[in-house]
Amino acid sequence: EIVMTQSPLSLPVTPGEPASISCKSSQSLLHTNGYNYLSWYLQKPGQSPHLLIYFGSSRASGVPDRFSGSGSGTDFTLKISRVEAEDVGVYYCMQARQTSITFGQGTRLDIK
């Protein structure tokens, strides 16, 4: 099973400031087709998770362009260029390179 490790686990951010979350996998997520099977999700308080980024860096439909994903292989980063109040919640990375899909522990973003 691929282990996903996120950091930090807690991230207090001032509105308007940038934020960055790291996600590291125990094995490479780069498929032979050239895509990284890594996606990012945000779970806002009291809601279901929703998709932000897939293939490591492709923004899902309707996701604001202040969200961006980068990385390849085993190291990935989610960046928010300017945090807004509506961005609070728990962020998860997920790998699908192996059939047994696994998530990171989650990073809680709060507003300072």
The residues of the shown chain that bind other proteins, judged by CB under 8 A, are 1, 33, 35, 37, 39, 41, 43, 48-51, 54-55, 60, 90, 92, 94, 96, 99-106
Whose Cβ is closer to other proteins: residue 17's or residue 74's?
Answer: 74
CB of 14 to other proteins, least distance (A): 26
CB 20 within 8 A of CB 109: no
**51 Cβ partners below 8 Å, 6+ apart?**
39, 40, 41, 60, 63
CB 98 within 8 A of CB 84: no
CB of 3 to other proteins, least distance (A): 13
CB of 29 to other proteins, least distance (A): 10
Whose Cβ is closer to other proteins: residue 11's or residue 101's?
Answer: 101
d(CA 35, CA 49): 23
CA atoms within 13 A on the CB side of 94: 16
Whose Cβ is closer to other proteins: residue 4's or residue 19's?
Answer: 4
